[in-house]
Amino acid sequence: MSAKGCCWDNAVVESFFSTLKLELDLDDNRDALITPQQLQRDLAFWIEGYYDRERRHSTIGYLSPIDYEQQFIAARTLTPVNP
């Protein structure tokens, strides 16, 4: 294991936080201007309202999680169960 913050050790988490910082425009200047409560609210909205539901993910064929789930459910209902 290498040093703390090495992207090769925890690439998934590093990618998530990079996306978070980019899309929420989190930088040193903005961090000083908002309260912890505002940051918590913004994070919850971004994760629950956008990242988990609407944002397209490369690991699921660039579909949003909602679209992927709908396709999965549709495929299951069309597939007959073995008798």
Owning domain of residue 36: 11-78
pLDDT tens-digit map of 2-17: 666 665 677 778 888 8
pLDDT for 7: 57
Residue 39 in domain: yes
pLDDT for 20: 83
3-state secondary structure of 68: helix
Residue 4 in domain: no
pTM above 0.75, yes or no: no
- Measured from the Cβ of residue 69, the count of other Cβ atoms closer than 10 Å reads 13
Residue 66 in domain: yes
Domain count, the chain: 1
| Residue spans of the chain under pLDDT 70 | 1-8, 26-32, 78-83
pLDDT for 49: 81
Cβ contact 31:40 at 8 Å: no
